[in-house]
Amino acid sequence: MKRIIAVTALVMVSTAGLVVTGTTARALPRENGRTPVNRSQYETLLNQCSYAATARRRATCRDTVRQDFRVGAEENPDLDCRTYSGVTVCGPLRLSPSERACVRDSLAKGLTFRRAEVECYAFI
Q: Which of 37, 20, 27, 40 is nearest to 82 (CA)?
A: 20
pLDDT number for residue 33: 82
Query: Residue 55 to residues 18, 51, 59, 89: CA-CA distances in angstroms?
Result: 29, 10, 6, 18
Dist. CA 62–CA 65, nearest whole Å:
5
Dist. CA 53–CA 95, nearest whole Å:
9
User: Which range (5-19, 30-44, 97-111) has the least confidence?
Assistant: 5-19
Q: What is the pTM of this model?
A: 0.71
pLDDT number for residue 81: 96
pLDDT number for residue 23: 34
What does the pLDDT look like over 11-33, one tens digit per residue?
A: 333 333 333 333 333 445 556 78
pLDDT number for residue 59: 97
Mean of pLDDT over the chain: 81
Residue 42 pLDDT > 90: yes
Q: Which of 6, 8, 40 is nearest to 21 (CA)?
A: 40
- 78, 26 contact by CB (below 8 A): yes
